[in-house]
Amino acid sequence: MAKQKTKFMCQDCGYESPKWMGKCPGCNAWNKMVEEIAPQKSSRRLTYTTTLSTEASKPQKITSVETKNEARIPTKFSEFNRVLGGGIVQGSLVLIGGDPGIGKSTILLQVSSQVAEANHRVLYISGEESPKQIKLRAERLGVESDNLYVLSETDLQYITRYIEEVNPDLVVIDSIQTIYLSEVTSAPGSVSQVRECTAELMKLAKTKGIPIFIVGHVTKEGSIAGPRMLEHMVDAVLYFEGERHHTYRILRAVKNRFGSTNEMGIFEMKELGLEEVLNPSEIFLEERPVGVAGSTVVASMEGTRPVLVEIQALISPTSFGNPRRMATGIDHNRVSLIMAVLEKRVGLLLQNQDAYLKVAGGMKLDEPAIDLAVALSIASSFKDKPTSPTDVVVGEVGLTGEVRRVARIEQRVQEAAKLGFKRIIIPNKNFGGWTIPDGIEVIGVNNVGEAIRHTLGQ
């Protein structure tokens, strides 16, 4: 009997090595190399022939390729449709990741119910729960439909057989780490199993035109477990984010072949399941304090939607040799950069001050248009002077203290006017080419010093 060959594979990035190493050369992770049995050559390998039978396999001029809109299955969640680009695309493979208990299975069961109620056949496959457990959760969510089928199975060969028997219009697999292929000798959840099972599901989705949603576990760093190749194989990658102590959940697309990757959907977790939030700006500002120093409202763009969010800052004298800089929801390096600009260009002595910044509501902001709001929050807390509760601030700050133009300024101003704000501070370069809505005053500034004088009076 031939000796079985083994190899060591990183469980984070999929790097292969003939010997064990403590640190993976691919992703620099420690203690992630696991021994696996090398796969044997199989007769299932694809064979390529010299005859090209189908028209689609022949080279074509790009000008002669015919395009058409993808067939989509809409759901009752407009937020879910927005993130996917308009609905569920037939034949697509979508990966959803998120922390344990965040609500991945809940939202997929609710979406399955909505698709089933629209006379589409749905197959919900769980490798972690029994049909009785799925039924208990369905009763709590009010899910009842004869077009919704449930299955508890982990063997991919049986799963593909049941998919052919049921012939569903949508398949949900929860989760990919529990599914295994018997021809692969490694354990379920390993890099080899996840890669091979995802490849088989992708082939099934493309050949039969069935949209498939697969749930992926996440690592302690927040990324989807398994090889990085997994995200390249699927058509869309969605992250379900949120804090366990908040009821709001954010569905964000980081990859989407059928839509924008900047879209975001907001849901609220309630006793009867998830409910979509149609106006997130009101939610993030409903508990905003009035007349408190260090609070500024910014109009941030999440995809094509403007969202008004509160940025809070607390500046206090330090008791350490090196002052602390802490930020939640904002990049820590950006906060240090803006504080250096305020100290050098505006004259605020911040080198002996601790700085704590936070985006209220658990949001994460990473666009440059929030720079001016961060600067004004820091200046307001340092001077202990509150900004006006009816002001909104938008602008990018350069290293010389100038305020640069931002994109989609008209949508930001309209959102501020719709929520009752009376004044908005924008870059002076953003004037022109758009109409100012009624009921709001628009002030243009050229540098951070002008913005501080308009908002704090100095």
Q: Which two tokens stand for residue 304?
A: 């094509």
Q: Which amino acid is at 268?
A: E
Question: What residues form the annotated binding site for ATP?
Answer: 98-105
Q: Which two tokens stand for residue 434?
A: 């758009």
Is residue 397 within 8 Å of residue 336, measured between CB atoms? no
Residue 83 φ then ψ, to 5°: -65, -40
Strands 396-397 and 305-317: unpaired
Question: What residues form the annotated binding site?
Answer: 98-105
**Pick from 35, 122, 99: nearest CA to 243:** 99
Q: Rounded CA gap, 431 and 436, in Å?
A: 9
Stretch (H or E) spanning 5 = none
Our measurement of the distance from residue 432's CA atom to the centroid of its chain's CA atoms, rounded to an integer in Å, reads 34
Is residue 307 classed as helix, strand or coil in its secondary structure? strand
Buried b / exposed e over 231-253, threshold 16 CB at 10 Å, is beebbbbbbbbbeeeeebbbbbb
Q: Which two tokens stand for residue 26?
A: 């691919």
Q: Which amino acid is at 248?
A: Y
**Pick from 119, 116, 203, 213: nearest CA to 172:** 213
